[in-house]
């Protein structure tokens, strides 16, 4: 890879990880287009999964005291088997349509949250079985669906460190079992593994920077940042879903 392209990748990974550490999502929407441009979709998604494993793992560590482990448990009940199933489907799945559909859905979520008079759907603990199922399949196909998960975790009542840490641990569970499926289908090559691991320290650095920002943000500003990132991620998915 030329030095110029490597520099672009490093800077993008740092920005993506910092944004994800502040909002709990959005890193994939920023990093995935660059990875696809450089390496192609079939390598980009497994590399992204490995890189995000580092980023999410560090967010779990930085916010471990605030994690709601009950949510993680209910999420994992369906998230584990369906992450494996989604990873198996990824090898032959038509990704373009799903990516555009997800982008439209993200933008719609923000519109609904700001136009409905009634309160946005508030999930209960048991609903995270369904959230885990849907999120895990789509995550295996698209690399990450943090923007899809975000409004549901927030609506449950998690905020700041509790939201960041809990969502990150749920995502770690998904990513581990996605990688098991990618390995089984031959997508987790030595080249892919090396690229993902090399991005790891950059993702951890971004998580550290983002944690400092989160601690200084008022709750109202935090939610506004999330909405802005949802709209950005949705637009990127719509543009990128070719």
pLDDT of 149-195, one tens digit each?
Answer: 888 898 898 988 899 999 999 999 999 999 999 999 888 999 999 99
Q: Which two tokens stand for residue 240?
A: 């990128």
8 vs 37, residue with greater confidence? 8
pLDDT computed for residue 32 by the predictor: 79
Choose from 97-101, 110-114, 186-190, 221-225 the range with maximum mean pLDDT.
Answer: 186-190
pLDDT computed for residue 241 by the predictor: 62
pLDDT computed for residue 193 by the predictor: 93
pLDDT computed for residue 36 by the predictor: 81
pLDDT computed for residue 50 by the predictor: 93
**What does the mean pLDDT of the chain come to?**
84
pLDDT computed for residue 117 by the predictor: 54
pLDDT computed for residue 156 by the predictor: 92
Tens digit of pLDDT for each residue in 44-76? 889 999 998 998 999 999 999 999 999 999 999
pLDDT interval class at 37 (50, 70, 90): confident
Tens digit of pLDDT for each residue in 120-135? 578 899 999 999 999 9
Sign of CA pseudo-dihedral 136, 142, 143, 148: negative
Domain boundaries, the chain: 3-240
Q: Which long-range contacts (CB under 8 A, 24 or more apart) does 70-75 make?
A: 70/125, 71/125, 71/128, 71/153, 71/156, 71/158, 71/166, 71/170, 72/166, 72/169, 72/170, 72/173, 74/125, 74/126, 74/128, 74/129, 74/132, 75/128, 75/129, 75/131, 75/132, 75/135, 75/170, 75/173
The arithmetic mean of pLDDT across residues 195-214, rounded, is 88
* 81 pLDDT more than 70: yes
């Amino acid at each position: 890879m030329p030095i110029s392209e490597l520099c672009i990748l490093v800077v993008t990974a740092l920005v993506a990880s910092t944004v994800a550490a502040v909002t709990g999502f959005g890193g994939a929407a920023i990093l995935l287009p660059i990875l696809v441009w450089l390496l192609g979709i079939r390598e980009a998604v497994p590399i992204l999964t490995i890189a995000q494993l580092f980023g999410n793992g560090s967010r779990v560590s930085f916010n471990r005291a605030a994690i709601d482990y009950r949510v993680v448990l209910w999420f994992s009940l369906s998230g584990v088997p369906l992450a494996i199933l989604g990873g198996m489907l990824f090898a032959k799945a038509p990704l373009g349509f799903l990516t555009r559909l997800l982008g439209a859905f993200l933008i719609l979520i923000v519109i609904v949250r700001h136009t409905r008079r009634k309160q946005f759907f508030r999930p209960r603990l048991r609903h995270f079985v369904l959230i885990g199922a849907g999120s895990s399949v789509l995550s295996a196909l698209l690399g990450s669906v943090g923007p899809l998960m975000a409004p549901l975790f927030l609506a449950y009542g998690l905020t700041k460190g509790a939201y960041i840490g809990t969502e990150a641990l749920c995502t770690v569970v998904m990513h581990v079992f996605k990688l098991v499926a990618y390995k089984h289908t031959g997508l987790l090559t030595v080249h892919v593994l090396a690229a993902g691991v090399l991005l790891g320290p950059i993702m951890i650095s971004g998580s550290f920077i983002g944690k400092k920002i989160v601690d200084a943000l008022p709750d109202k500003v935090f939610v506004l940042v999330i909405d802005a990132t949802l709209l950005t991620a949705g637009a990127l998915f719509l543009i990128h879903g070719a």
